[in-house]
Structure 1
């Protein structure tokens, strides 16, 4: 199997990126563990302030982000990134803070990160990696970044419709073959070759969504991806920052337990069915006062529940008052492992290097 890949001058031992699972699932512990094991560890930033001080949410987000980045970098010399959703109301502050703290990579999706290079400073070494779901999105970003900033993305994450959490697709497209990784990796690879020919810059493709096993990884790399993004399987690890009840929800679930929800933020999402999801589908409302308005696209005045609060509850182990996002391969995750064991299992021929 192909191993070692580069993003600019960053040399990563194994071609695997841990998905940036937000609202307390991937914080400093999981991110640093993946980085230390030879992959790219990623801190999920959405809702991060809930774990610091809810009374002053915006300040809490900045304080928490600084704390978790510093902690992760103290625990490992490996490559650590952050995932920052474009839809965040405090997007600019989170990007600036990450760059100030010297984060290695910013992964940015849930919208097109059209202004992301504007936050870089002259001495910034942070790499910028958009998360996309189509060739068209990549082309729009490249056109804008070249014209306004004379900057090309350092890599792309192509996230397919089998991923967990919020999906960058219309509901009706999620199960269509034309939107699969199998269809879109070769198309995006061809475009990356054109960019390399025109601008002499290597732009790797990181493909994610429903990837779980060594076989999954080999298949995606053989299609032309340079690395994979994997999220759900890393939840079932000792190092994951979520509560044990959250991890048990993953290892006890199978494919028939998955459902696509309509999220208050305006995107479909893949989650594990439970009574909380069934209740809001029946029209029941969960009374709350929105102290955050954390997502620009959230219809917080009319939504039946607060998704930030629901995900926070679940991450803290109170699954009954929230729910668990999951990728489509959840039925293959049936035990809790160490991060290093998972990575060695996938890249087994390299584990004695």
Structure 2
């Protein structure tokens, strides 16, 4: 079984590997552009993407919207004609503005999760940007595809099916995460079978991308054997020279043991997988007062949330791990050295 190019409408992806969007500041222009150059799809996370812009403290949303174009342009400058996209969380405050900014900046694809991206087809009208929802179950896939079909006469250009072994925010309950994770294989097959009706209706293939727990060639081969058309990989790209995170952030990955990878509660309202940092231990003991709101989440009351996720993620990406939140996938403990994007592709492609 050899890896075949991934065809998404009029886009031809030479290597069917998507680098997952990781915020805050983990996957920006340098990482995304480098992945695109190697023949995969490089994804920039728009989550507080402008955290290091001069005007971020004063007007975070304005800084982020400006940074979206900046990072897409910079990624393209090193991508050698490769495919560059963005990941935009549905939970983002002014979600519509972020989508428009990405389209205007010429993003090839938009991947959207952390909620149901029901309005996404309407927001990309007039642009050639390809769109994909992130789903974790057949139910979520059916809701989105039926709604897009009924309301916009549109289907997804591809679908990212994210499993329980992924990093960051997870579309599963804590109970599900504590149970048998092998059921995910069945979900992939069910979704693949379910979308056939939409493929027939719209006379086009809807590629399925499997995400979560993809580490080596065997994982890729397993996903392809289930009918997947490609994979999304995130954690492995963190420990590369090209990753936009700090040296300390990368070292937190390399030093993490299996028992250091835990499930936490996120202010987004979903469980998340992260490294057990001193910050995570502190949060487990009680709520941390929010001193400043960065307007990152649509449904967020600073007086009710357990901590400010923006502050925690910015501290981490800057290298202050003791006060930071370090999201990661469940294979992170297997990482033991800094490598390069090129070396990862050379290892994984077959």
Match of 1:98 among 94, 99, 102: 102
Matches within 5 A, 1:258-273: 258-273=261-276
Structure 2 equivalent of residue 153 of structure 1 = 156
Structure 2 equivalent of residue 335 of structure 1 = 337
CA offsets per residue over residues 107-147 of structure 1, 9 Å max, x none? 0000000000111233x110011011111111111111111
Between the aligned partners of 1:278 and 1:132, the Cα distance in structure 2 is 30
Structure 1 range deviating more: 34-43 or 46-55: 46-55
Does the CA contact (< 8 Å) of 1:264 and 1:303 recur in 2? yes
Does the CA contact (< 8 Å) of 1:47 and 1:308 recur in 2? yes
Does the CA contact (< 8 Å) of 2:99 and 2:124 recur in 1? no
Structure 2 equivalent of residue 26 of structure 1 = 27
Give secondary structure in 2 for the equivalent of 1:300.
coil
The answer on 1:10 being equivalent to 2:14 is no
Match of 2:305 among 303, 306, 309: 303
Does the CA contact (< 8 Å) of 2:290 and 2:303 recur in 1? no
Structure 2 equivalent of residue 119 of structure 1 = 123
Matches within 5 A, 1:216-255: 216-255=219-258
Between the aligned partners of 1:134 and 1:9, the Cα distance in structure 2 is 27
The answer on 1:83 being equivalent to 2:87 is yes
Between the aligned partners of 2:277 and 2:316, the Cα distance in structure 1 is 11
Q: How many residues in Structure 1 have an aligned counterpart in Structure 2?
A: 346
Q: CA 1:127–1:167 in structure 2 vs 1: closer, same or farther (change >3 Å)?
A: same
Between the aligned partners of 2:322 and 2:291, the Cα distance in structure 1 is 19
CA offsets per residue over residues 2-54 of structure 1, 9 Å max, x none? 22111111101111000100110000000000000111000001111322122
Q: CA 1:342–1:178 in structure 2 vs 1: closer, same or farther (change >3 Å)?
A: closer
Q: TM-score, normalised by structure 2?
A: 0.96
Between the aligned partners of 2:179 and 2:227, the Cα distance in structure 1 is 21
CA offsets per residue over residues 291-330 of structure 1, 9 Å max, x none? 3231123332122321111011100111011121110111
Between the aligned partners of 2:227 and 2:292, the Cα distance in structure 1 is 44
Give secondary structure in 2 for the equivalent of 1:107.
strand
Does the CA contact (< 8 Å) of 1:264 and 1:300 recur in 2? no
Q: TM-score, normalised by structure 1?
A: 0.95
Between the aligned partners of 1:231 and 1:300, the Cα distance in structure 2 is 29
Between the aligned partners of 2:62 and 2:183, the Cα distance in structure 1 is 39
Structure 1 range deviating more: 322-331 or 101-110: 322-331
Match of 1:69 among 46, 68, 72: 72
Does the CA contact (< 8 Å) of 1:28 and 1:71 recur in 2? yes
CA offsets per residue over residues 142-186 of structure 1, 9 Å max, x none? 111111111100000000010000101111112333774312111
Does the CA contact (< 8 Å) of 2:61 and 2:295 recur in 1? no
Matches within 5 A, 1:202-217: 202-217=205-220
Does the CA contact (< 8 Å) of 1:243 and 1:315 recur in 2? yes
Between the aligned partners of 1:293 and 1:18, the Cα distance in structure 2 is 26
Structure 2, gaps ≥5 residues long: none
Between the aligned partners of 1:180 and 1:234, the Cα distance in structure 2 is 26
The answer on 1:320 being equivalent to 2:322 is yes
Structure 2 equivalent of residue 274 of structure 1 = 277
Between the aligned partners of 1:180 and 1:276, the Cα distance in structure 2 is 32
Between the aligned partners of 2:94 and 2:243, the Cα distance in structure 1 is 25
The answer on 1:109 being equivalent to 2:113 is yes
Structure 2 equivalent of residue 345 of structure 1 = 347
